[in-house]
Amino acid sequence: MTVTDPTAGDSIRRRRTRGRNVAFGLAAIAVLVGVMVVWSAARDDATGQAGNGAVGDAFPDVELTDPAGGPYRSGGLVGTPLVVNFWYSTCPPCRRELPDFAAVHDQLGDQVRFVGINPLDTAEQAQRFAARYGVTYDTLFDRDGNLSEALAVTGFPTTVLADATGTIVYQHTGALTADQLREALADTLDITANHAAKG
C-alpha cells in the first residue's frame, strides 16, 4: 500500500509558482537594465544639438575641484574667451572629439582658454586619458554636478563658449569636429586662425 501526502501537490505547485515569480522578476530586471543602458548610451552619444541652454546667461560661479583636490571657483575662469568642454573617459563620443579639441587648442589657444570639466574620473584617470589624446589644457572636476546643473547639461560631451565678460554665447551637446569647433569660435567669438597669424 502506498501512502501519499495530500499536501505534496500543493507544495510542488507553490515551488513552481515561486520559480515562475523569480524568473519573471529576473527577466523584468534584465529588461530594465537594458533600457537604462540604451538610454545612457543615447545621452552620451548625443547626435549633436546646438540648444539655447544657458546662452545669454552669465557663466556660473560654482565650486569645482582642481586636480590636486582643492576647491576652485568656476567664476575664476571669466576674463578671457572660454571653451568649456564636459567629458569623461568612458564616454565614446568624448573620446572621438578630444583629439580635435586638442588640435584646435594648439592652433587657437593663445586667443581662447580651453578647460575640460570632468564629472566622474579621478584626477589620475583624467590626466592619463587626456594625455593619450594630446590634451594639454586644464581639467577641472565637477563631481557634485554643480556646474553641470547650473548649465543644464543633459549629455556628454557638452561644449560651452563664453566671451571675456563671462556671457555664454554658445552651448552644444554632442561631439564636435575640429572644423565645427573652429566655426563656432569664429561665429560667436570672432576667433580665427587668421587673427592668430596677424597677432
Distance of alpha carbon 108 from alpha carbon 51, whole angstroms: 24
Residue type, 23: A
Task: Tell me what pLDDT residue 54 has.
Answer: 80
Task: Tell me what pLDDT residue 15 has.
Answer: 57
Cell of 121: 574620473
| pLDDT at residue 166 is higher than 80 | yes
Long-range Cβ pairs for the range 105-110 (8 Å, 24+): 105/135, 105/136, 105/137, 106/134, 106/136, 107/182, 107/193, 107/196, 108/182, 108/185, 108/191, 108/192, 108/193, 108/196, 109/137, 110/196, 110/199
Task: Tell me what pLDDT residue 45 has.
Answer: 45
User: What are the tens digits of pLDDT across the range 22-50?
Assistant: 555 555 444 333 433 333 443 444 444 45
| pLDDT at residue 195 is higher than 60 | no
Task: Tell me what pLDDT residue 43 has.
Answer: 43
Phi, psi of 50, deg, nearest 5: -90, 90
Distance of alpha carbon 45 from alpha carbon 90, whole angstroms: 11
| pLDDT at residue 81 is higher than 90 | yes
Determine what percent of the chain is predicted with pLDDT higher than 70. 71
Distance of alpha carbon 17 from alpha carbon 12, whole angstroms: 9
Distance of alpha carbon 187 from alpha carbon 175, whole angstroms: 18
Q: What is the mean pLDDT of the chain?
A: 83
Task: Tell me what pLDDT residue 143 has.
Answer: 95
Determine what percent of the chain is predicted with pLDDT higher than 90. 69
Distance of alpha carbon 134 from alpha carbon 23, whole angstroms: 49
Task: Tell me what the mean pLDDT of segment 58-77 comes to.
Answer: 97
Task: Tell me what pLDDT residue 53 has.
Answer: 61
Per the listing, cell 576647491 goes with: 71
Task: Tell me what pLDDT residue 12 has.
Answer: 52
Instruction: Count Cα neighbours of 172 within 13 Å in the Cβ-side half-sphere.
Output: 23
| pLDDT at residue 71 is higher than 70 | yes
Task: Tell me what the mean pLDDT of segment 6-17 comes to.
Answer: 55
| pLDDT at residue 192 is higher than 50 | yes
Q: Model confidence at 189, in pLDDT bands (50, 70, 90)? A: very high
